[in-house]
Amino acid sequence: MASISTQLEQVRKRVDKACTDAGREPRCVTLLAVSKTFGPQAVIEAVQAGQCDFGENYVQEGVDKIAALAAWARTQDRASPLRWHFIGALQSNKTRAVAEHFDWVHSVDRLKIAQRLSEQRPAHLAPLQVCLQVNIDGGMNKAGVAPQDVLALAQAVQGLPGLSLRGLMTIPEPAPDQAAALRVHERARGLWQALNGQLQQPLDTLSMGMSADLEVAIAAGSTCVRVGTAIFGSRSAAA
């Protein structure tokens, strides 16, 4: 397999090209490197290649990796801190660790989780940056708030002092073709825009697109793509 820095470079080129093709500025899309199941050494390689934003799905694995990278950073002369994004399913008994260690959570899908994260966010830290996960294609057993319930949840979350609501996140089912994938992403973009017209504070983040579909997600208006496999390689079957 190619090195992580080579793969990262290729993904950045894909992101830039997708932005150009869509008539958008390359810098308007954040690349989130999804490092779940990969160890601290893989993250260090990505950091050395200029990557700052990392996504994790499992609370304990993420917390351990954040600590390992903080220890490594102390041995380096690094000016800019890393940003850690929690993107996995979140149970209420795990919210404290996420509130204490992460910078962002993309997967908030109910008020109870949001309230706990807000209460448990340490006062000396900036508010936790939050996206609401929306079940955009109506998958039966999927996480995510239903599109018709997102406005009420967004209004409630904007009232929580420990959180700063930034936008929406989606994980669509794999689509049969690019046109179908584009339609689902465009529906998410439409929901995001409609919501933006109804909220007190505007949203600036639309977190959608992964290794396989980042181009169509960017064409539809994504501001943050979450890319694992195309940067770090394929994960073991157990993951």
Closer by beta carbon to ligand PLP, 180 or else 199 = 180
**In the complex, what is the shortest distance from the CB of residue 161 to ligand PLP, in angstroms, rounded to a whole number?**
27
Closer by beta carbon to ligand PLP, 63 or else 227 = 227
Q: What is the 3-state secondary structure (H, E, C) of 17-84?
A: HHHHHCCCCHHHCEEEEECCCCCHHHHHHHHHCCCCEEEECCHHHHHHHHHHHHHHHHCCCCCCCCEE
d(CA 156, CA 160): 7
Looking at the DSSP bridge assignments, the partners of residue 232 are none
Closer by beta carbon to ligand PLP, 122 or else 139 = 139
**Token pair of 178 as six digits:** 């690019």
| Residue tagged 């599109």 (tokens) | 147
**In the complex, what is the shortest distance from the CB of residue 135 to ligand PLP, in angstroms, rounded to a whole number?**
13
Closer by beta carbon to ligand PLP, 142 or else 183 = 142
**In the complex, what is the shortest distance from the CB of residue 38 to ligand PLP, in angstroms, rounded to a whole number?**
11
**In the complex, what is the shortest distance from the CB of residue 157 to ligand PLP, in angstroms, rounded to a whole number?**
19
**Token pair of 165 as six digits:** 């609501």
Q: Which residues of this protein are in contact with ligand PLP, per CB under 6 A?
A: 34, 36, 57, 87, 171, 210-212, 226-230
